[in-house]
Structure 1
Amino acid sequence: MRTDPPRTTRRTVLAGGAATLGLGLLSAAPAARAVPAGKAPTPGSLVLVGGGLKDDNAQVYGEIVRRAGGAAARIGVITAASVPESQDPDAADPDLCSNSACNGAYYAGLFKRHGAADAQWIPVDLDHVPAADADEVVAQVESMTGFFFGGGDQYRYLTCLLNGERHTDSRVLAAIRAKLARGAVVAGSSAGAQIASGPDMVSGGESYEGLRDGSSPGYFDDATRLAYIPRGGFGFLRSGLLDTHTGVYGREGRALRLAADTGHDRVYALDENTALVVDHPGSRHEHLTVLGPQGVSVLDLREARTRATGSGWSLSGARYSYLTDGDRYEARTWRALPAPDKRRLVPAGTEPVPVATDVFHSAADPEGTPYAFRATARALAETRAQRTATATTWESGPRFQVTFTKAGGFSAWTADGTHARTLLGLRVDVAPR
């Protein structure tokens, strides 16, 4: 079963593409909330996974189950981002099917295997949009202690769980939002994490095309075009933009460009099979913890500047932090706290940093490797021979160069004394070459 977009296209395209995008979703107003303004901070939590969540990731599944009540946990599984049964040619084959119903059953089984008392599919998808306002489905939601949104295409979640151009909550989404406010955990992977976004939720695109052409509001059949929904997703996390599959698909470039274009000064860019756990989302006490084998990039654009010339678009002065398992981050103070088992790295390497020639892992490059951006940053952190390192895009016309600099405030943290794991405050500049 596959729940994330295939590598060749990186994004599932809805039937009708851009033609299905309502004008209401292009408005810059934030998504309507069921919780009244001024309500006390949300006591619930989020567990957002960058996609590619492996079946045996007991660390992440266990955290979701624990936050939902442990042995008493009841998980509601929402898979409306998947194609519905009516569009799946393999719907009748349990070994090949990849639709909302069979994906829902699959995740429900996984949560039970990882210790939940019960897990049920919430039957809302493109075949059953009216179910998002049905009494019996709302009652089902009310009986749950936690929720998990599966992968696919986040735009389908907007279609199924929000009310069209008004962008207001369906009854099911309002019930989930209220459960979150009363202490439930809301989790998701890939599109299921992306939908937690506030305004300017990314809806597609690749790093190179984004850097070259900029971003556009909307939803487009061209999967390489950097696009976003101004009114955003469900707004569970608003302290920064969200992106997923970051290192595998080389999305650091598109995340920087989208944030710069839309006026955001922070991005949480999640890697696969790894979770960003958010406590007290939306409050002044919001803090985040990384859980899993990879990490989460925090892109800080507070001091970044952009410039557009005849040669192309450039960005200078962004800061890149890479947080790994056990690291914490305080949203209000912008402060990262490495895990207690890590210590500052004293660089000892003397070899030059290899120059990556496909820093954003282009889908068009048959020789490309994932995590090239992170690999360059870590290699620079581990050497005492260089203060800066460069990497380039595989594409040209123009070819973009990324420059990494150990500027003031930079530090690297290690668990074994030799290899950089966590990086804090590395300067990043992007410019046409």
Structure 2
Amino acid sequence: MPPDAEKTRWGFRIAYLAVLLLATLPPPVFDLTREGLSARLSGAFDLTFRGSDVIDAVRNVLLFAGWGAVWAASAPRSAARNAFLRTIVVATVVGSAISLSIESIQLLSPYRDTNIWDFITNTTGSALGAAVFLVLIRSIDRTRQDRSYVGLPAFVLAAGYGSAVLLEALIPLLAQGVVPGYGGGPLARAGRAFQHFSWSTLGDLPLLSAILVLPAGILTVAALAERGMGRTGARNRVLVLVVPVFAAVEVVGGILGQPISAGALVMHAAGVALGAWLADRFLPAFTQRLRGRQRPAAILAAYLAFLVLWSWRPFTFATSFAAIQDGLAVQQFIPLMSHAVRFDVFSALDIARQFALLIPVGALLAVWPLKARGLLAGPLPGIYAAVLLELGQILVDGRHFDMTDALVGSAAVLLGWVVVRRGGLRPWGEILDRR
């Protein structure tokens, strides 16, 4: 391997290692007394799974899944095809070693609780992240010769956007709540969520939620149609599954402490169902009317428009410079500062949602770049978009710019681009080619 490639590989890994350390290490205050160490050490091997461990498990899996994905992304190009299991095993072993080191340091801190469940979930996250990344590359490699609407398997777009939709349904950005009496194990949490459920929530029908999830239905039907299923059959399958899927997501949200909302369930299901119907009805006309670079250009423009909806909601903008200034703080411009102070399941899911949304942008640019060279080449336009979407939140009342989110979005674009290229796909042309 060329020395520059080797440096780049380890550069990515070290950068994400820094993310892990900043997000998990305690303040540099240590308690080295025998009593303190003995108490924390005995608690570290307590296998009792408490209610709070559910939240920690979700956070840990998401955080270390990023490590697994970064390790797999920076592995040799042949890893997905010729060293699938070995790459996953190495990513898992290294992830577990990092986790063990972090937990050992936390053992010395009076402000953190070392727990064997953290080690288990961190290790699991490393394995899942690497496995999902490599499976995605393999899937692209196996289908790259198949018919597709835009020169890219639609399941890549559907998987990214669909994941963001499920995360939004799980913990809505603008409608987070807490079930009264929150606590206990998973079954107790679910029971309490059902106990406080009210059909009156049907009166709260968030229209924006239905609009945001609509592309998930369109992309799912397109992905199924590419795999040989008829559009009407794909639409019907979506219609059958959409309500049970979102009902299950509401229950999982209840376990995490989020109130179950019948209104949100109805609007999410209705939005996806409408998207599936639109795909069945208009996909043929869309493919016939737009050909060549016009089709990816239209898809990219529409996708970015939906990203604006996701990023700048609720569209109540600051009306004065003083209001904008009040919403700015130095720590917002320091990477990882906000998450070093607060990194719970809600912030973890928020990061994961944004990450999932922007992966398709990089994937599409991998096969249809704006330009082959220069400032608009490769994934660069997607990175610009990720930063601009985050900067725009400075003008939105109740939203805040966070450098961490801008970096996460940029990383998602880059990862989507890498996945598609590692899958063997190459550019079909330039979107802005005027010839």
Q: TM-score, normalised by structure 2?
A: 0.28
Of structures 1 and 2, the one with the larger relative CO (CA 8 A, separation 6+) is: 2
Q: TM-score, normalised by structure 1?
A: 0.28
Q: Which structure has the larger Rg?
A: 2
More helix by share: 2
